[in-house]
Amino acid sequence: MKKPEMTEAILAAKAQKKLSWEQIADKAGVSPVFATSACLGQNSMPKEPADRLCAALGVPGEVSEALQAFPHKTWDKTVPTDPVIYRLYEIVGVYGETMKQLIGEKFGDGIMSAIDFSMTIEKQPDPKGDRVVVTMNGKFLPYKVF
């Protein structure tokens, strides 16, 4: 089974069982961000959480095997039209250079790892309208001189 078919099976089971990503992640024993990303084909999942996730969703073992397979990560270079994803592009477009400059001042010349990385997405109630709180936590990787 390929990653796209795996994702289709997971999304169908998720809808049929009326489970949230938080509930699925809890049953698998991983974070909601990681579980969602793996189910959408962007990360591989270790065997034990993959098996737990599949048991919770009632999907066959081939889905677990596909979850465990290494992904082929790609994305289109064009600006997306989905409003949520577009706004993230907009944030990087407006604040990306600012983030780069501030990271450089605080850490030196390097990057934030997307491998040694975690992210949380929280809802913060606010009387003027609920807030989305995205926290990204990545290891700093300095560029090497060779």
Active site annotation includes 105: no
Active-site entry in 5, 8, 62, 90: 90
- Do 29 and 45 form a contact (C-beta atoms < 8 A)? no
- Annotated catalytic residue: which of 8, 48, 62, 113? 113
Q: How far apart are CA 51 and CA 142, in angstroms?
A: 37
Q: Is 48 annotated in the active site? A: no
User: Is 87 designated active site?
Assistant: yes
Helices (H) then strands (E): counts for the chain: 6, 2
Task: Specify the residue for token string 């706004």.
Answer: 87
Q: How far apart are CA 31 and CA 8, in angstroms?
A: 21
Annotated active-site residue in 87, 97, 118, 131 = 87
Positions annotated as catalytic residues are 87, 90, 113
